[in-house]
Amino acid sequence: MRRLLPIALVVAFFSSCGGPGPDTSGVPDLPEMTVAEFEAKLAALDRPAVVNVWASWCIPCRSEAPLLNAAFEAHGGEIEFIGVDVEDNQPDAKAFLAEFGLGFEHVFDRNRSIPNRFAGFGTPITFFFAAGGELMSTHNGIIDERGLALGIDELLRIDP
């Protein structure tokens, strides 16, 4: 019994990190957007943009979400952040946004036509666009803090 006690305490500690599902009542449906509409949106931007492709079922996206929030908080005033939710459904997508509190704009792309247009593969993907919508670089797969910071720094040096 004494040997099981530490294990039980560790399990209880880890379990306490979870909890009931997030409250999605305050999260609106994500607007659907076509490729043409998305390209027009990027072209109209007068500042660079970081576009992150995610999905609620994507395990690495969970690890990326806090990092994207940190980047948005640090650079949201000078760079546009846009999330593109792909191959997902609205309830799960809203639960994901509620759980991580991602404060920037997100669009819904059920057929993943937007990342396909920019030749990204897999999920997650992070695209870095200059002002006016020119694609500068693509990071396929999960991006870490240094990679995201480097991509942002490159954008800021193109469009000061």
Question: Quick check: 140 and 29 in contact, CB under 8 A?
Answer: no
142 part of the interface to other proteins, by CB under 8 A: yes
Residue placing its CB nearer to other proteins in the complex, 35 or 98: 98
Q: In this chain, which of 35, 62, 92, 108 binds other proteins, going by CB under 8 A? A: 62
Interface region with other proteins, contact rule CB under 8 A, candidates 38-46, 66-74, 77-85, 104-112: 66-74
| Maximum alpha-carbon separation in the chain | 66
Q: In this chain, which of 23, 71, 114, 120 binds other proteins, going by CB under 8 A? A: 71
- Overall size of the chain counted in residues: 160
Interface region with other proteins, contact rule CB under 8 A, candidates 11-19, 34-42, 82-90, 108-116: 11-19
The amino acid at 73: E
Task: Quickly list DSSP for 101-125.
Answer: T--SEEEEETT-HHHHHTT--SSSE
9 part of the interface to other proteins, by CB under 8 A: no
How far apart CA 34 and CA 40 sit, in angstroms, is 10
Question: Quick check: 41 and 73 in contact, CB under 8 A?
Answer: no
Residues that bind other proteins (CB under 8 A): 11, 14-15, 17-18, 59-60, 62-64, 66-67, 70-71, 74, 136-137, 141-150, 152-154, 157
